[in-house]
Amino acid sequence: MPRVTIARNILAANEEIAADVRRRLAAAGVRCINLMSGPGAGKTTLLERSVARLRGQLAVGVIEGDIETSLDAERIEAAGAQVVQINTRGACHLEAHMVRDALETLNLQRLDLLFIENIGNLVCPAAWDLGEDLRAVVVSTTEGDEKPAKYPQIFAAAQVLVLNKMDLLPYVDYDPERVCTQALAVNPGLQIFALSCRSGEGLDAWCDWLLAFTSKRSVTTARETPYIMGGAGS
Amino acid sequence: MPRVTIARNILAANEEIAADVRRRLAAAGVRCINLMSGPGAGKTTLLERSVARLRGQLAVGVIEGDIETSLDAERIEAAGAQVVQINTRGACHLEAHMVRDALETLNLQRLDLLFIENIGNLVCPAAWDLGEDLRAVVVSTTEGDEKPAKYPQIFAAAQVLVLNKMDLLPYVDYDPERVCTQALAVNPGLQIFALSCRSGEGLDAWCDWLLAFTSKRSVTTARETPYIMGGAGS
């Protein structure tokens, strides 16, 4: 069936380019996270807050993927990161060749950590290797707590799960434990952070982990617990 | 380029099947709405509430599209609708052949209105005609108010926009007017309903409109205004 054959060829070509991206980033000493979520889970706000908190400790770059507009890139740039905008003009996920092209406009020697903010889509990005070291998926407390069961591929493809908008928990029917249980059933190795970009709850643990991930700080307790719910106090 | 050619063939084949679905629904006197949104905007809850409110006035059926699980179908069935579950096992949108197959298990003679709940995805479903009479896209106040600018295709492809989770407005940074302005810039003909499935605000206007759409009640004021914000009192 030609459709499957060609899809395989495209994915194989993507993997070759992703391997090239991975080599270039490793050679420059840049760690890379592919950030994925459905629309509006808070990827951009998480990046804004992370970039601002890590300023002076970590040089962060962002490849910002959107179907249209440069609204998100402008927000991230204002927070103090090197940014490149990719507009896919309708495509539902980023592919490795887009990242390879975007690298040309970044000064890798000046970066410690590169985020790739994927298109807001909880389905298609899961299949595409972008040359990242790690994939993080963001869900929010307003999306319903059955997402890992309904969209298992993206949770299986990630190493980190961020549960965002914890400040809205009192106003929604959402059980964070249910989400964690479902996510760990799909992927027992997932590291989970619960936080709120609005209140700041949990952002310290997340930023500590980013520093450890980029070897700018020794490994924190993050690896000792299956997941971190909220900040240090909860 | 083979990828494009084959994609066109697939879309053309889809349109033929969609036309067949449309003929069969029209012959049975069933009106059909393709309900689209990102993950967790509240499509299933909107259907639950609509089915429950319209019980006795309108016979509603639902074709429930999910990548995995029958969680949503169980909720809708409990609310009192004829339901068929489609599991796409990874595919990011419904296609017309899936709807055609699902029709075999529904008693169309006993239906006035058929909803097709698409996969939670604000990108890919826009390109696929399912044989519906009308497309409605649901966004929620927790997703960020720049969605129509960032995902214009799905707003351009719809006739109705539902702004859900209006009860959460006090707790989020979200400007409903901005969303409406952006959506109407992409698609000036959009009819917009603002509502909350949790508080019930705006559901009367939505259900009145569904009754008018299925010719079970004369056309309401809905067509006279560009959009309805909230219920009758707001």
Residue A233 belongs to some domain of the structure: no
Mean pLDDT estimate for chain A: 91
Residue B223: the pLDDT is 40
Residue A97 belongs to some domain of the structure: yes
Residues A69, B146: C-beta atoms closer than 8 Å: yes
Share of chain A above pLDDT 70, in %: 89
Taking the CA of residue B121 and the nearest CA in chain A, the distance in Å comes to 6
Mutate to test the interface with B, among A43, A67, A75, A164 (most CBs of B within 10 A): A67
Residues A38, B122: C-beta atoms closer than 8 Å: yes
More confident call, A209 vs A228: A209
Taking the CA of residue A20 and the nearest CA in chain B, the distance in Å comes to 23
Residue A147: the pLDDT is 97
CATH number of the domain bearing residue B8: 3.40.50.300
In chain A, the number of structural domains is 1
Residue B136 belongs to some domain of the structure: yes
- Contact criterion met (CB below 8 Å) for A114 and A31: yes
A198 → chain B, closest CA residue:
B172
Task: Find all residues with CB under 8 Å of A66, minimum gap 6, and list them.
Answer: A72, A73, A85, A86, A87, A88, A119, B150
**Cβ-Cβ contacts under 8 Å, A2 against chain B:** 2, 6
Residue B63 belongs to some domain of the structure: yes
Residue B10: the pLDDT is 85
Model confidence over B112-162: pLDDT tens digits?
A: 999 999 999 999 999 999 999 999 999 999 999 999 999 999 999 999 999
State the burial class of residue B1 (Cβ atoms within 10 Å of its Cβ: 0-12, 13-18, 19+).
Answer: exposed
Residues B123, A119: C-beta atoms closer than 8 Å: yes
Query: Is beta strand B31-37 parallel, antiparallel or unpaired with respect to B60-66?
Result: unpaired
Residue B234 belongs to some domain of the structure: no
State the burial class of residue A163 (Cβ atoms within 10 Å of its Cβ: 0-12, 13-18, 19+).
Answer: buried
Residue B11: the pLDDT is 87
Those residues of chain A whose CB sits closer than 8 Å to some CB in chain B are: 2-3, 6, 10, 38-40, 66-69, 71-72, 90, 92, 119-124, 139-140, 142-144, 146-147, 149-153, 165, 167-168, 171-172
Residues A151, B67: C-beta atoms closer than 8 Å: yes
Model confidence over A81-124: pLDDT tens digits?
A: 999 999 999 999 999 999 999 999 999 999 999 999 999 999 99
Residue B226: the pLDDT is 41
Residues B146, A119: C-beta atoms closer than 8 Å: no
Residue A11: the pLDDT is 87
Residues B119, A123: C-beta atoms closer than 8 Å: yes
Model confidence over B189-231: pLDDT tens digits?
A: 999 999 999 999 999 999 999 999 998 765 444 444 444 443 3
Residue B149 belongs to some domain of the structure: yes
Residue B232: the pLDDT is 34
Residues B142, A150: C-beta atoms closer than 8 Å: no
B168 → chain A, closest CA residue:
A171
Domain housing B188: 2-228
Residue A52 belongs to some domain of the structure: yes
Model confidence over A5-28: pLDDT tens digits?
A: 556 688 899 999 999 999 999 999
Distance, in Å, from the CA atom of B83 to the CA atom of A49, rounded to the nearest integer, reads 43
More confident call, B74 vs A229: B74
A6 → chain B, closest CA residue:
B3
Share of chain B above pLDDT 70, in %: 89
**Cβ-Cβ contacts under 8 Å, B71 against chain A:** 146, 149-150
State the burial class of residue B102 (Cβ atoms within 10 Å of its Cβ: 0-12, 13-18, 19+).
Answer: buried
Q: Which pTM does this prediction carry? A: 0.89
SS3 track for chain A: CHHHHHHHHHHHHHHHHHHHHHHHHHHCCCEEEEEEECCCCCHHHHHHHHHHHHCCCCCEEEEEEECCCCHHHHHHHHHCCEEEEEECCCCCCCCHHHHHHHHCCCCHHHCCEEEEEEEECCCHHHHCCCCCCEEEEEEECCCCCCHHHHCHHHHHCCCEEEEECHHHHHHCCCCHHHHHHHHHHHCCCCEEEECCCCCCCCHHHHHHHHHHHCCCCCCCHHHCCCEECCCCCC
Listing from the earlier edge strand, what are the strands of the sheet with A31-37?
A82-87, A60-66, A113-120, A31-37, A134-140, A160-164, A191-194, A227-228
Q: Is residue A223 scored above 80 in pLDDT?
A: no
Residue A234 belongs to some domain of the structure: no
Residues B92, A123: C-beta atoms closer than 8 Å: yes
ipTM value, please give it. 0.86
